[in-house]
Structure 1
Amino acid sequence: MDVMDWLRRCPLVAILRGVRPDEVEAVGEALVGEGVVILEVPLNSPEPVESVRRLAARLGDRALVGAGTFRREAEVAAVAQAGGRLLVTPHADPALVRAAKARGMVAMPGFLTPAEAFALLDAGADALKLFPAEAGGPAMLRALRAVLPGDVPLLPVGGVDALSLPAWRAAGASGYGCGSALYKPGDAPATVAAKARALLAAL
């Protein structure tokens, strides 16, 4: 499936910053059980590649599993070898996009300006992450929609929660990256599932 197929199943991207390998499978099962099927383990989490490996092995084709906060091509290779199929970055680095696409991964790099967006698309990005989204708000996303190709999935990330989701949706968001609104370090699987239900209800 391409990234839009996954986003049509559920437009939420779960950012599991701080998750540990010994808890990641239960958290992943809780999210998938509520319908959240795109899971990102940021690389500044404890043993992130091991968490990706466990999630990918446990969930298989039921979820699009990968990592975020990439900075180096060696990290792309390590995550791909662990079974990760998604690259997310906080910044605009076309080289990382090309490295991900060379390994058959979905590339969802971060951007803040039209210049960054077009450079990432030229490198092969599948979707674009507007970050930090709260810096510009829905009005910024609406303006970007006017100049970017209409079929490019745009996902605001940063400060996205149940209260702001309707405004982002009205501005043209294709999906939403949710961190603490879905998961905080130490959250029990039942807590994560309840947060997922609240966000889905807001949609």
Structure 2
Amino acid sequence: MSMAPWLDACPIVAILRGIRPEEVEAIGTALLAEGLGILEVPLNSPNALESIRRLHAAFGDRALVGAGTVTTEDEVAAVVRAGAKLMVTPHCSPPLVLAARARGLIACPGFFTPGEAFALLAAGADALKLFPAEAASPAVLRALLAVLPTGTAVLPVGGIGAENVAAWKTAGAAGVGVGSSLYRPGDTPAAVQQKARALREALGAA
């Protein structure tokens, strides 16, 4: 299992922070309608495991359902039981990468420095989340990619929107994680679909 085919299809991870189980299927349908197939539910969302279960049940192999803000090995086990196929962390934790890989999860851990990136790759990370991207820049990403192993997939997360997504993609990002610029609690499916379409159009300029 790899993240690459999903990123090739659409290099946007939809971060659904704050989403509730009763709305995940409608929001997921809206996102898939615009080609966004990577759906991440952060674990600090209300009843996140139930949202992950519902996404997995509704979309199966049509979406890569992930769990974000994973910080413990117990959470790794719980998200696997809920049906997640992708683990995203906010921080550098090689042990969590090892735990995720041992359970068959795609691992996309967070990092900010070259040292963290190399430690996570050594642990078997499939991709790397550059976080918080607001504190970096596309130029920083280009510098990181110059020293990381060829083909390393780096996904900036934080402060990404239609206004700057093309700059990150041009700098070499394999994908981007988009949260509040795509979904905020209370958004209707139609609003989310419209924002997803704007992101896809902005990426087309890259």
TM-score (norm 1): 0.99
What whole-Å deviation, never above 9, does each CA across 1:18-48 have from its counterpart, x for those lacking one? 0000101110111011100001000010000
Q: Which moved more, 1:94-103 or 1:11-20?
A: 94-103
What whole-Å deviation, never above 9, does each CA across 1:98-140 have from its counterpart, x for those lacking one? 1111111110000000000011001110000000011011111
**Residue identity in the other structure for 2:53:** R
**Distance in 2, Cα, partners of 1:84 & 1:168:** 27
Structure 1 equivalent of residue 39 of structure 2:
39
DSSP 3-state at the match of 1:41? strand
Q: Which runs of 5+ in 1 are unaligned?
A: none
Deviation at 1:69, TM superposition (A): 0.4
Q: Which runs of 5+ in 2 are unaligned?
A: none
Deviation at 1:80, TM superposition (A): 0.3
Structure 2 equivalent of residue 172 of structure 1:
172
Structure 1 equivalent of residue 101 of structure 2:
101
DSSP 3-state at the match of 2:41? strand
Structure 2 equivalent of residue 160 of structure 1:
160
Structure 2 equivalent of residue 186 of structure 1:
186
Deviation at 1:82, TM superposition (A): 0.7
Structure 2 equivalent of residue 65 of structure 1:
65
The 5 A counterparts of 1:120-159 are 120-159=120-159
The 5 A counterparts of 1:56-95 are 56-95=56-95
Structure 1 segments of 4+ aligned residues over 3 angstroms from their partners? none
RMSD between aligned residues: 0.7
DSSP 3-state at the match of 2:143? helix
**Distance in 1, Cα, partners of 2:169 & 2:40:** 21
How many positions carry a matched residue from both structures?
Answer: 203
**Distance in 2, Cα, partners of 1:11 & 1:63:** 13
**Distance in 2, Cα, partners of 1:150 & 1:63:** 27
TM-score (norm 2): 0.97
